Amino acid sequence: MTDRPRHYCIIGNSTAAIAAVESIRRVDKQGEITLIAEEPYHTYARPLISYYLSGQVGPDQLLYRPKDFYQKNRVAALLGVRATRLDTGSRIVYLDSEIESLHYDACLLATGSRAWAPPIPGIDLAGVGSFWTLDDAIAWKRTIQTGERVVVLGAGLVGMKAAEALVKLGCQVRVVEAAPRILPAVLTQSAAANVQAWFEQHGVEFQLGTGVAALEGRHQVETVALVGGKQLRADKVVLATGVRPRLELAEDTPIAFDRGLLVNQWQETTVSGVFSAGDVCVGFDRLRNCNQINPILPNAHHQGRIAGFNMAGEERMNEGIIPFNATSFFGRSLITMGFSQENELDMEEITESTTTGSRSLFFQGNKLVGATLINAGQRAGILLSLIRERFEVADPPGLLRSVPQLLDFPDLPRQEQKGGGPGEICGCFRHDL
Protein backbone atom coordinates (compact mmCIF):
# COMPACT_ATOMS: atom_id res chain seq x y z
CA MET A 1 0.00 0.00 0.00
CA THR A 2 1.24 3.49 -0.81
CA ASP A 3 1.23 6.51 1.51
CA ARG A 4 -1.33 8.25 -0.67
CA PRO A 5 -4.76 8.18 1.01
CA ARG A 6 -6.98 5.57 -0.54
CA HIS A 7 -10.00 6.70 -2.51
CA TYR A 8 -13.21 4.79 -1.93
CA CYS A 9 -16.13 5.11 -4.33
CA ILE A 10 -19.45 4.02 -2.91
CA ILE A 11 -22.23 3.73 -5.47
CA GLY A 12 -25.53 3.73 -3.65
CA ASN A 13 -26.85 5.55 -0.60
CA SER A 14 -29.00 3.08 1.26
CA THR A 15 -28.35 0.52 3.98
CA ALA A 16 -25.38 -1.35 2.45
CA ALA A 17 -23.65 1.86 1.33
CA ILE A 18 -24.04 3.54 4.72
CA ALA A 19 -22.82 0.45 6.60
CA ALA A 20 -19.75 0.37 4.35
CA VAL A 21 -18.97 4.04 5.04
CA GLU A 22 -19.19 3.36 8.76
CA SER A 23 -16.85 0.40 8.71
CA ILE A 24 -14.35 2.08 6.37
CA ARG A 25 -14.16 4.96 8.83
CA ARG A 26 -13.55 2.60 11.73
CA VAL A 27 -10.38 1.42 10.00
CA ASP A 28 -9.26 4.29 7.78
CA LYS A 29 -9.66 7.86 9.05
CA GLN A 30 -7.53 9.39 6.28
CA GLY A 31 -8.90 7.89 3.07
CA GLU A 32 -11.24 9.82 0.84
CA ILE A 33 -14.79 8.58 0.45
CA THR A 34 -17.03 9.62 -2.41
CA LEU A 35 -20.62 8.44 -2.35
CA ILE A 36 -22.61 8.56 -5.57
CA ALA A 37 -26.38 8.29 -5.46
CA GLU A 38 -29.00 8.63 -8.14
CA GLU A 39 -31.70 9.67 -5.69
CA PRO A 40 -31.28 13.31 -4.64
CA TYR A 41 -31.99 12.63 -0.97
CA HIS A 42 -30.05 12.30 2.25
CA THR A 43 -29.89 8.59 3.12
CA TYR A 44 -33.35 7.47 4.13
CA ALA A 45 -34.81 4.32 5.64
CA ARG A 46 -36.47 2.65 2.69
CA PRO A 47 -38.78 0.37 4.72
CA LEU A 48 -40.31 3.49 6.26
CA ILE A 49 -41.92 4.69 3.05
CA SER A 50 -45.18 2.96 3.98
CA TYR A 51 -45.09 4.68 7.39
CA TYR A 52 -44.46 7.96 5.58
CA LEU A 53 -47.37 7.36 3.23
CA SER A 54 -49.75 6.72 6.11
CA GLY A 55 -48.47 9.78 7.99
CA GLN A 56 -47.10 7.74 10.90
CA VAL A 57 -43.63 9.24 10.37
CA GLY A 58 -42.72 12.66 9.06
CA PRO A 59 -39.96 13.58 6.59
CA ASP A 60 -37.33 14.06 9.31
CA GLN A 61 -37.97 10.62 10.78
CA LEU A 62 -37.22 9.05 7.41
CA LEU A 63 -33.53 9.84 7.75
CA TYR A 64 -31.56 6.62 8.15
CA ARG A 65 -28.65 8.56 9.66
CA PRO A 66 -28.51 12.07 11.20
CA LYS A 67 -28.20 15.10 8.94
CA ASP A 68 -24.50 15.55 9.72
CA PHE A 69 -23.65 11.95 8.75
CA TYR A 70 -21.71 12.74 5.55
CA GLN A 71 -19.89 15.64 7.17
CA LYS A 72 -18.96 13.69 10.30
CA ASN A 73 -17.67 10.78 8.25
CA ARG A 74 -15.97 13.10 5.75
CA VAL A 75 -17.93 11.73 2.81
CA ALA A 76 -18.20 13.69 -0.42
CA ALA A 77 -21.83 12.86 -1.17
CA LEU A 78 -22.80 13.38 -4.79
CA LEU A 79 -26.57 13.13 -4.48
CA GLY A 80 -28.71 13.16 -7.60
CA VAL A 81 -25.74 11.96 -9.65
CA ARG A 82 -25.74 8.79 -11.72
CA ALA A 83 -22.76 6.54 -12.23
CA THR A 84 -22.98 5.77 -15.94
CA ARG A 85 -20.05 3.48 -16.61
CA LEU A 86 -17.38 1.55 -14.79
CA ASP A 87 -13.91 0.95 -16.22
CA THR A 88 -12.54 -1.74 -13.97
CA GLY A 89 -9.21 -1.90 -15.85
CA SER A 90 -8.30 1.72 -15.11
CA ARG A 91 -10.42 1.82 -11.93
CA ILE A 92 -12.51 4.76 -13.11
CA VAL A 93 -16.19 5.41 -12.58
CA TYR A 94 -17.88 7.81 -15.02
CA LEU A 95 -20.63 10.14 -13.86
CA ASP A 96 -23.36 12.24 -15.48
CA SER A 97 -22.33 15.36 -13.54
CA GLU A 98 -19.84 18.23 -13.66
CA ILE A 99 -17.34 15.85 -12.16
CA GLU A 100 -17.14 13.52 -15.13
CA SER A 101 -15.06 10.73 -13.72
CA LEU A 102 -13.40 9.53 -10.55
CA HIS A 103 -10.48 7.21 -9.99
CA TYR A 104 -10.94 4.71 -7.18
CA ASP A 105 -8.77 2.33 -5.22
CA ALA A 106 -11.80 0.39 -4.00
CA CYS A 107 -15.35 0.63 -5.29
CA LEU A 108 -18.58 -0.62 -3.74
CA LEU A 109 -21.56 -1.44 -5.93
CA ALA A 110 -24.49 -1.02 -3.57
CA THR A 111 -27.00 -0.13 -6.25
CA GLY A 112 -29.82 -2.18 -4.76
CA SER A 113 -32.83 -3.15 -6.77
CA ARG A 114 -35.59 -1.48 -8.70
CA ALA A 115 -39.29 -2.19 -8.77
CA TRP A 116 -40.33 -4.63 -11.46
CA ALA A 117 -43.59 -4.19 -13.32
CA PRO A 118 -45.24 -7.19 -14.96
CA PRO A 119 -45.70 -6.97 -18.76
CA ILE A 120 -49.47 -6.63 -18.78
CA PRO A 121 -51.55 -4.32 -20.98
CA GLY A 122 -52.34 -0.97 -19.40
CA ILE A 123 -49.38 -0.94 -17.04
CA ASP A 124 -48.48 2.58 -18.30
CA LEU A 125 -51.88 4.12 -17.52
CA ALA A 126 -52.02 7.11 -15.19
CA GLY A 127 -52.83 6.11 -11.63
CA VAL A 128 -50.62 3.01 -11.84
CA GLY A 129 -47.26 3.03 -10.10
CA SER A 130 -44.79 1.12 -8.02
CA PHE A 131 -44.06 1.50 -4.32
CA TRP A 132 -40.34 1.21 -3.78
CA THR A 133 -38.63 4.59 -3.56
CA LEU A 134 -39.22 7.76 -1.59
CA ASP A 135 -40.30 9.42 -4.83
CA ASP A 136 -42.94 6.71 -5.25
CA ALA A 137 -44.23 7.39 -1.74
CA ILE A 138 -44.25 11.16 -2.27
CA ALA A 139 -46.17 10.73 -5.52
CA TRP A 140 -48.77 8.46 -3.91
CA LYS A 141 -49.10 10.79 -0.92
CA ARG A 142 -49.81 13.66 -3.29
CA THR A 143 -52.36 11.86 -5.45
CA ILE A 144 -54.26 9.36 -3.30
CA GLN A 145 -57.51 10.68 -1.85
CA THR A 146 -59.45 9.38 1.12
CA GLY A 147 -62.19 7.02 0.03
CA GLU A 148 -60.52 6.05 -3.25
CA ARG A 149 -60.58 2.48 -4.49
CA VAL A 150 -57.00 1.23 -4.57
CA VAL A 151 -55.95 -2.16 -5.88
CA VAL A 152 -52.58 -3.46 -4.67
CA LEU A 153 -50.99 -6.01 -6.99
CA GLY A 154 -48.82 -8.41 -5.00
CA ALA A 155 -49.20 -9.61 -1.41
CA GLY A 156 -45.55 -9.74 -0.43
CA LEU A 157 -44.23 -7.60 2.42
CA VAL A 158 -44.11 -4.46 0.28
CA GLY A 159 -47.67 -4.95 -0.90
CA MET A 160 -49.02 -5.71 2.55
CA LYS A 161 -47.28 -2.70 4.15
CA ALA A 162 -48.68 -0.56 1.33
CA ALA A 163 -52.15 -2.00 1.92
CA GLU A 164 -51.93 -1.22 5.64
CA ALA A 165 -50.88 2.39 4.93
CA LEU A 166 -53.71 2.79 2.40
CA VAL A 167 -56.24 1.56 4.97
CA LYS A 168 -54.93 4.17 7.40
CA LEU A 169 -55.44 6.80 4.69
CA GLY A 170 -59.08 5.78 4.45
CA CYS A 171 -58.93 4.04 1.07
CA GLN A 172 -60.97 1.03 0.00
CA VAL A 173 -58.21 -1.51 -0.50
CA ARG A 174 -58.17 -4.71 -2.53
CA VAL A 175 -55.13 -6.96 -2.79
CA VAL A 176 -54.57 -9.25 -5.79
CA GLU A 177 -52.01 -12.04 -5.51
CA ALA A 178 -51.14 -14.82 -7.94
CA ALA A 179 -50.17 -17.24 -5.17
CA PRO A 180 -52.96 -18.88 -3.17
CA ARG A 181 -52.03 -17.00 0.03
CA ILE A 182 -50.63 -13.70 1.23
CA LEU A 183 -46.91 -13.37 2.06
CA PRO A 184 -46.32 -16.60 0.12
CA ALA A 185 -42.54 -16.45 0.43
CA VAL A 186 -42.56 -16.58 4.21
CA LEU A 187 -45.86 -17.97 5.52
CA THR A 188 -47.66 -21.29 5.55
CA GLN A 189 -51.27 -21.43 4.42
CA SER A 190 -52.63 -21.34 7.96
CA ALA A 191 -50.34 -18.57 9.18
CA ALA A 192 -51.20 -16.53 6.11
CA ALA A 193 -54.92 -16.97 6.75
CA ASN A 194 -54.36 -15.71 10.28
CA VAL A 195 -52.63 -12.52 9.15
CA GLN A 196 -55.09 -12.02 6.30
CA ALA A 197 -57.88 -11.85 8.86
CA TRP A 198 -56.24 -8.78 10.46
CA PHE A 199 -56.56 -7.00 7.15
CA GLU A 200 -60.11 -8.21 6.55
CA GLN A 201 -61.10 -6.76 9.93
CA HIS A 202 -60.03 -3.42 8.45
CA GLY A 203 -62.12 -3.91 5.33
CA VAL A 204 -59.40 -5.11 2.95
CA GLU A 205 -60.62 -7.58 0.33
CA PHE A 206 -58.42 -10.23 -1.23
CA GLN A 207 -58.29 -11.92 -4.63
CA LEU A 208 -55.82 -14.76 -4.14
CA GLY A 209 -54.60 -17.33 -6.64
CA THR A 210 -55.53 -14.89 -9.37
CA GLY A 211 -53.48 -13.32 -12.13
CA VAL A 212 -54.10 -9.94 -13.68
CA ALA A 213 -55.02 -9.96 -17.38
CA ALA A 214 -54.99 -6.20 -18.01
CA LEU A 215 -55.37 -2.77 -16.52
CA GLU A 216 -58.06 -0.83 -18.35
CA GLY A 217 -59.06 2.80 -18.72
CA ARG A 218 -58.79 5.66 -21.20
CA HIS A 219 -55.90 7.65 -19.78
CA GLN A 220 -56.43 6.99 -16.13
CA VAL A 221 -56.79 3.43 -14.85
CA GLU A 222 -60.42 2.51 -14.14
CA THR A 223 -60.55 -1.27 -13.95
CA VAL A 224 -58.32 -4.20 -13.08
CA ALA A 225 -59.29 -7.17 -15.24
CA LEU A 226 -58.42 -10.47 -13.57
CA VAL A 227 -57.66 -13.71 -15.38
CA GLY A 228 -60.99 -15.53 -15.41
CA GLY A 229 -63.02 -12.44 -16.24
CA LYS A 230 -63.61 -10.72 -12.91
CA GLN A 231 -63.34 -6.90 -12.99
CA LEU A 232 -62.27 -4.73 -10.07
CA ARG A 233 -63.02 -0.98 -10.16
CA ALA A 234 -59.88 0.98 -9.33
CA ASP A 235 -58.98 4.65 -8.97
CA LYS A 236 -55.34 3.73 -8.34
CA VAL A 237 -53.23 0.60 -8.78
CA VAL A 238 -50.15 0.08 -6.63
CA LEU A 239 -47.64 -2.37 -8.09
CA ALA A 240 -45.88 -4.49 -5.48
CA THR A 241 -44.88 -7.21 -7.89
CA GLY A 242 -41.29 -7.63 -6.86
CA VAL A 243 -37.91 -6.09 -7.50
CA ARG A 244 -34.91 -6.85 -9.68
CA PRO A 245 -31.24 -6.14 -8.90
CA ARG A 246 -29.70 -3.14 -10.66
CA LEU A 247 -26.90 -4.71 -12.64
CA GLU A 248 -26.45 -2.15 -15.40
CA LEU A 249 -23.05 -0.86 -14.21
CA ALA A 250 -21.60 -4.35 -14.36
CA GLU A 251 -22.98 -5.16 -17.78
CA ASP A 252 -20.04 -3.89 -19.85
CA THR A 253 -17.38 -5.02 -17.41
CA PRO A 254 -15.74 -8.37 -16.61
CA ILE A 255 -17.70 -8.46 -13.32
CA ALA A 256 -19.58 -11.75 -13.28
CA PHE A 257 -23.27 -11.89 -12.48
CA ASP A 258 -26.25 -14.16 -12.88
CA ARG A 259 -29.40 -13.05 -11.04
CA GLY A 260 -27.19 -10.62 -9.11
CA LEU A 261 -23.52 -9.72 -8.83
CA LEU A 262 -21.44 -12.67 -7.70
CA VAL A 263 -19.40 -12.01 -4.58
CA ASN A 264 -17.14 -14.09 -2.36
CA GLN A 265 -17.36 -14.16 1.42
CA TRP A 266 -15.24 -10.99 1.55
CA GLN A 267 -17.98 -9.31 -0.53
CA GLU A 268 -15.57 -8.81 -3.42
CA THR A 269 -16.86 -9.31 -6.96
CA THR A 270 -14.96 -11.32 -9.56
CA VAL A 271 -12.98 -8.15 -10.33
CA SER A 272 -10.32 -7.11 -7.84
CA GLY A 273 -11.03 -3.81 -6.08
CA VAL A 274 -14.76 -3.92 -6.82
CA PHE A 275 -16.98 -4.99 -3.96
CA SER A 276 -20.71 -5.36 -3.70
CA ALA A 277 -23.31 -5.58 -0.94
CA GLY A 278 -27.06 -5.56 -0.46
CA ASP A 279 -29.94 -6.40 -2.78
CA VAL A 280 -27.78 -6.26 -5.92
CA CYS A 281 -25.49 -9.15 -5.01
CA VAL A 282 -25.75 -12.89 -4.68
CA GLY A 283 -24.23 -13.29 -1.25
CA PHE A 284 -23.67 -16.11 1.17
CA ASP A 285 -26.85 -17.56 2.69
CA ARG A 286 -26.06 -19.44 5.86
CA LEU A 287 -29.44 -21.14 6.01
CA ARG A 288 -29.21 -22.78 2.60
CA ASN A 289 -25.42 -22.89 2.66
CA CYS A 290 -25.23 -21.45 -0.81
CA ASN A 291 -25.07 -18.08 -2.51
CA GLN A 292 -28.26 -16.23 -3.28
CA ILE A 293 -29.97 -12.86 -3.18
CA ASN A 294 -31.41 -12.10 0.24
CA PRO A 295 -33.11 -8.76 -0.22
CA ILE A 296 -33.63 -7.90 3.43
CA LEU A 297 -32.29 -4.90 5.29
CA PRO A 298 -30.21 -6.67 7.96
CA ASN A 299 -28.44 -8.60 5.21
CA ALA A 300 -27.65 -5.39 3.32
CA HIS A 301 -26.18 -3.85 6.45
CA HIS A 302 -24.20 -6.96 7.31
CA GLN A 303 -22.72 -7.28 3.83
CA GLY A 304 -22.05 -3.55 3.59
CA ARG A 305 -20.16 -3.59 6.87
CA ILE A 306 -18.06 -6.59 5.82
CA ALA A 307 -17.36 -4.99 2.43
CA GLY A 308 -16.26 -1.74 4.06
CA PHE A 309 -13.75 -3.45 6.33
CA ASN A 310 -12.25 -5.40 3.44
CA MET A 311 -12.12 -2.31 1.22
CA ALA A 312 -10.14 -0.55 3.93
CA GLY A 313 -7.75 -3.47 4.24
CA GLU A 314 -9.05 -5.10 7.41
CA GLU A 315 -9.96 -8.63 6.49
CA ARG A 316 -13.42 -9.78 7.56
CA MET A 317 -15.47 -12.67 6.25
CA ASN A 318 -19.22 -12.74 5.81
CA GLU A 319 -20.35 -15.69 7.91
CA GLY A 320 -23.77 -15.31 6.33
CA ILE A 321 -26.99 -14.40 8.01
CA ILE A 322 -30.17 -16.37 8.44
CA PRO A 323 -32.97 -14.69 6.49
CA PHE A 324 -35.60 -13.25 8.77
CA ASN A 325 -38.30 -10.65 8.69
CA ALA A 326 -40.11 -8.76 11.36
CA THR A 327 -42.90 -6.31 10.90
CA SER A 328 -46.17 -5.24 12.37
CA PHE A 329 -49.60 -4.80 10.88
CA PHE A 330 -52.23 -2.75 12.71
CA GLY A 331 -50.20 -3.00 15.92
CA ARG A 332 -49.76 -6.77 15.79
CA SER A 333 -46.35 -8.26 15.14
CA LEU A 334 -45.26 -10.87 12.64
CA ILE A 335 -41.80 -12.43 12.75
CA THR A 336 -40.59 -15.13 10.36
CA MET A 337 -37.15 -16.69 10.26
CA GLY A 338 -35.35 -19.44 8.39
CA PHE A 339 -37.57 -21.89 6.54
CA SER A 340 -41.06 -20.85 7.52
CA GLN A 341 -43.30 -22.11 4.77
CA GLU A 342 -44.35 -25.66 4.20
CA ASN A 343 -43.05 -26.49 0.76
CA GLU A 344 -39.46 -25.53 1.56
CA LEU A 345 -38.15 -28.85 2.75
CA ASP A 346 -39.03 -32.02 4.52
CA MET A 347 -39.63 -30.69 7.98
CA GLU A 348 -41.90 -30.99 10.96
CA GLU A 349 -44.02 -28.13 12.25
CA ILE A 350 -45.13 -27.74 15.85
CA THR A 351 -47.52 -24.94 16.74
CA GLU A 352 -48.90 -23.41 19.88
CA SER A 353 -51.70 -20.87 19.73
CA THR A 354 -53.12 -18.60 22.37
CA THR A 355 -55.95 -16.11 22.18
CA THR A 356 -53.54 -13.33 21.25
CA GLY A 357 -51.06 -15.04 18.95
CA SER A 358 -49.27 -18.18 17.87
CA ARG A 359 -45.81 -19.64 17.54
CA SER A 360 -44.89 -22.20 14.91
CA LEU A 361 -41.51 -23.88 14.95
CA PHE A 362 -40.09 -25.90 12.08
CA PHE A 363 -37.66 -28.71 12.78
CA GLN A 364 -35.50 -31.03 10.75
CA GLY A 365 -34.83 -33.79 13.23
CA ASN A 366 -33.79 -31.97 16.39
CA LYS A 367 -32.56 -28.91 14.58
CA LEU A 368 -34.67 -25.79 14.50
CA VAL A 369 -34.69 -24.52 10.91
CA GLY A 370 -37.47 -21.95 10.96
CA ALA A 371 -40.11 -20.15 12.97
CA THR A 372 -43.19 -18.00 12.55
CA LEU A 373 -44.19 -15.90 15.53
CA ILE A 374 -47.52 -14.15 15.24
CA ASN A 375 -47.97 -11.54 17.92
CA ALA A 376 -45.68 -13.63 20.12
CA GLY A 377 -42.19 -12.33 19.45
CA GLN A 378 -40.70 -12.17 22.94
CA ARG A 379 -37.00 -13.13 22.90
CA ALA A 380 -37.36 -14.25 19.28
CA GLY A 381 -33.67 -13.66 18.64
CA ILE A 382 -32.79 -16.70 20.76
CA LEU A 383 -34.65 -18.85 18.23
CA LEU A 384 -32.81 -17.15 15.37
CA SER A 385 -29.57 -17.93 17.13
CA LEU A 386 -30.55 -21.62 17.48
CA ILE A 387 -31.17 -21.71 13.72
CA ARG A 388 -27.92 -19.93 12.96
CA GLU A 389 -25.86 -22.34 15.03
CA ARG A 390 -27.74 -25.43 13.74
CA PHE A 391 -28.20 -26.31 17.38
CA GLU A 392 -29.52 -29.74 18.38
CA VAL A 393 -32.51 -28.98 20.59
CA ALA A 394 -32.90 -31.73 23.20
CA ASP A 395 -36.63 -31.22 23.68
CA PRO A 396 -38.25 -29.57 20.62
CA PRO A 397 -41.81 -29.30 22.07
CA GLY A 398 -40.27 -27.81 25.22
CA LEU A 399 -39.31 -24.75 23.19
CA LEU A 400 -42.98 -23.87 22.93
CA ARG A 401 -43.78 -24.27 26.61
CA SER A 402 -42.49 -20.86 27.61
CA VAL A 403 -40.66 -17.85 26.29
CA PRO A 404 -37.21 -19.11 25.24
CA GLN A 405 -34.31 -18.45 27.60
CA LEU A 406 -30.59 -18.85 27.06
CA LEU A 407 -30.22 -20.88 30.23
CA ASP A 408 -31.93 -23.79 28.50
CA PHE A 409 -29.16 -24.04 25.88
CA PRO A 410 -25.90 -24.02 27.83
CA ASP A 411 -23.99 -25.48 24.90
CA LEU A 412 -25.08 -22.90 22.34
CA PRO A 413 -21.79 -21.68 20.84
CA ARG A 414 -20.35 -18.28 21.61
CA GLN A 415 -20.88 -15.61 19.03
CA GLU A 416 -17.91 -14.37 17.03
CA GLN A 417 -18.22 -10.91 18.42
CA LYS A 418 -16.85 -9.48 21.58
CA GLY A 419 -19.14 -7.97 24.12
CA GLY A 420 -20.64 -8.77 27.46
CA GLY A 421 -18.59 -10.43 30.12
CA PRO A 422 -16.40 -13.40 29.43
CA GLY A 423 -17.80 -16.87 29.59
CA GLU A 424 -21.05 -16.80 27.69
CA ILE A 425 -23.22 -16.54 25.16
CA CYS A 426 -25.07 -18.90 27.44
CA GLY A 427 -24.83 -20.90 30.52
CA CYS A 428 -23.06 -19.89 33.67
CA PHE A 429 -21.56 -16.43 33.91
CA ARG A 430 -18.65 -17.38 36.10
CA HIS A 431 -16.77 -14.15 35.96
CA ASP A 432 -13.26 -13.83 37.22
CA LEU A 433 -13.04 -10.29 38.55
Partner 1 sequence: MKRIVALAEYCLGCGLCAVYCSALHTAPDLDLVRAFRQPKRLAAGITVEKNLEFAVARSCRHCENPYCVESCITGAMVKDPLTGEVWCDVERCVACWTCVAACPYGMVTISQGPHDQHPHAQKCDLCRNLSEVPVCVLKCPNEALVLVEEEGVA
Q: How far apart are CA 40 and CA 49, in angstroms?
A: 16
Q: Is residue 12 left, alpha or beta, with left meaning phi > 0 and alpha meaning psi from -120 to 50?
A: left
By the rule CB under 8 A, 117 interacts with partner 1 = no
Binder of partner 1 out of 30, 343, 356, 428 (CB under 8 A): 428
Residues 41 and 63 sit within 8 Å (Cβ to Cβ): no
Segment near partner 1 (CB under 8 A); pick from 123-131, 165-173, 284-292, 376-384: 376-384
Judged by CB under 8 A, how many residues of this single chain contact partner 1?
A: 52
Task: Answer yes or no whether residue 152 interacts with partner 1 by CB under 8 A.
Answer: no
Please tell me whether residue 56 binds partner 1 under the rule CB under 8 A: yes
Q: Which is nearer to partner 1, 237 or 369 (CB)?
A: 369
CB of 38 to partner 1, least distance (A): 21
CB of 87 to partner 1, least distance (A): 33
User: Is residue 355 at the binding interface for partner 1, with CB under 8 A as the rule?
Assistant: no
User: Which CB, 30 or 417, lies closer to partner 1?
Assistant: 417
Q: How far is the CB of 23 from partner 1 (least distance, A)?
A: 9
Please tell me whether residue 430 binds partner 1 under the rule CB under 8 A: yes
Between 151 and 169, whose beta carbon lies closer to partner 1? Answer: 169
Q: How far apart are CA 32 and CA 9, in angstroms?
A: 9
Closer to partner 1 at the Cβ: 269 or 385?
Answer: 385
Residue 429 lies near partner 1 (rule: CB under 8 A)? yes
Long-range pairs of 226-229 with CB within 8 A, sequence gap ≥ 24: 226/176
338 touches partner 1 by CB under 8 A:
no
Q: Where do contacts with partner 1 occur on this chain (CB under 8 A)?
A: 19, 45, 47-48, 51, 56-57, 61, 63-65, 297-298, 301-302, 305, 324-328, 331, 333, 335, 337, 373, 377-382, 384-385, 388, 404-408, 415, 417-421, 425, 428-431, 433
